[in-house]
Amino acid sequence: MSTTRADFDKVMVPNYAPAGFIPVRGHGSRLWDQEGREYVDFAGGIAVSAVGHTHPAVVAALKEQSDKLWHVANVMTNEPAIRLAQKLVEHTFAERVFFANSGAEANEAALKLARKYATDHFPNNNTQKCAGCSVNGCLCATDKNEIIAFDNSFHGRTLFTVTVGGQPKYTQGFGPLPQAICHLPYNDIAAAEATISDKTCAVIVEPVQGEGGVTPAKRAFLQRLRELCDQYHALLIFDEVQSGAGRTGALFAYMKYGVTPDILSSAKGLGGGFPVGAMLTTEKIAASFGVGAHGSTYGGNPLACAVAGAVLDIISSPTTLQGVEERHQLFVSALNQLNDKHGIFKEVRGDGLLIGCALAPAFEGRGKDLVKACELEGLLLLIAGPSVMRLAPSLLITPADITEGMARFDRALVKFVVATI
C-alpha cells in the first residue's frame, strides 16, 4: 500500500503538524525521503538518535534479541533488562532502576515515588478523618506533598507531568489539574529559598531546559537546590530525559555540575530511537515502591533493553563523550560565523550537543519559518519555542556532516533573511 503525506491528514488525529515529506531511510546523520532526497540531520529525532541512524552495533543488538524473546511483561524479568539496569547502576549514583517506555512515564514514576516516599516517611500525625480513605486518625496521607518545578520546564504529556511542566499552554483545556504544584523562575535562587519548605516533597528540575529554550542551569542554582532539599527533607529530581545519555558530554549532566539528585529520569537518547525510559534512584527511596505500587506493561521490554544496552555501551565510552565536547566547539564556531554574516541570532547557548540559537529581535517568532527554509535546503533542525532554534544531532555526527549541514544552513539563511526584510 502506497502512502503519502496527504494520507496523514486523513487518518491521524490532528495533534501534530509534521513536515511535508516522509523519511524512509536513515544512516548516520543523513536521512532520505520517499523521493530519494537527502537531508543532513541536526534534529536527531528531538535528541533521541544519540548514535545516529541504523548504527551497526545497535542494529545487531536488535536483530539478535528479536530472534530470542520479545515480551514477557512484568510478571517475569528478563536478561536484557537486568543487564541494562546493572550498567546504569554501575555508571551512576543509582542503586535501583525502574523501566518505562518514555520520558513522560519515567517522570510520572519519579513524581509518584516522591509523594509516596513522603507519605511513608512523613505521615500526618492527625486524629482527623483522612480525605483519601475516610478513616479516623489515618496516617496514610501527608501534607508534605508540594512539588516545586520551574517556569518553561517540560516534563512530559501525561496529566501529572504536563501540569508539573512550567508551560501553561500545554494544560489549557485539560482541567481540573493535579494540585500542590508550584512553579518558580528558573535559575532564581532567591525564589527557591523563599518557597521550598517543610511542605515540599520534591523539587524537579532540568539541568538544561530543552523545550523551554535550551537554557542551562547555573551551577550555584543546582547546588542551592540540593542544599534546600537536604534542609527540608525533600527529594531532588533531575529530569535528564533530554540532557542525559551523553548529550552534554558527560553521561548525565549532573556529573558535570557535581550535584547528585535523589531521583533521575532518562529516556530519549537512552534507546537511540527505540522507545525506552528509566527512573534511577537509591535503595532507600526505591523501597517506597513496593510490589504493586507502580508498574508498566511494556517497561523493561527485552527488545528495548537490548537496544538501550548497546546504545549505552557506545555513549558511555570516553571516546564518545570527549567527542561531544569537540563537536560542540565545531558547531558553536560555525554558528558564530553564520551569525557574523547574517546577524540572525542574539545568543548561541547550550551544552554539548544540545544547542540553542535565540533569534535576534528582527526574527523573533519566526522559528518555524526558518525550520521550513532549512528543510528546503536539505537540513533538519528543531525549535524550542517560537524564537529559539534547537540543534540536537547524533553524538557521533562527523565533522564532514557538520560542515555540510552548516553550508545548507547558510543557504537557507540567505533566503530567509531576504524574505524577512
| 46-81: pLDDT as tens digits | 999 999 999 999 999 999 999 999 999 899 999 999
Decide the pairing of beta strands 23-27 and 30-33.
antiparallel
Check whether 141 has a pLDDT greater than 80: no
- The mean pLDDT value of the chain amounts to 95
* pLDDT tops 60 at residue 411: yes
Contact 346, 377 (CB under 8 A): no
**Per-residue pLDDT tens over the stretch 232-248:** 999 999 999 999 999 99
Q: How much is the pLDDT for 362?
A: 94
* pLDDT of the residue at 125: 55
Mean pLDDT of 360-374: 96
pLDDT, tens digit (0-9, with 9 covering 90-100), for 77-130: 999 999 999 999 999 999 999 999 999 999 999 999 999 999 999 987 544 555
- In sequence order, the 6+-apart residues with CB closer than 8 A to the CB of 184 are 148, 149, 150, 151, 191, 192, 195
Q: Check residue 418 and give its pLDDT.
A: 81
- Percent of the chain's residues with pLDDT above 70: 96
Q: Report the sign of the C-alpha dihedral through residues 270, 93, 236, 120, in that order.
A: positive
- Convert 88-114 to b/e letters by CB count within 10 Å (16 or more is b): beeebebebbbbbbbbbbbbbbbbbbb
pLDDT digits 0-9 by tens, 339-353: 999 999 999 999 999
Closest by Cα among 160, 167, 154, 325 to 241: 154
What is the structure's pLDDT at 124?
76
pLDDT of residue 127: 45
- Which of 11-20, 124-133, 137-146 is the least confident region? 124-133
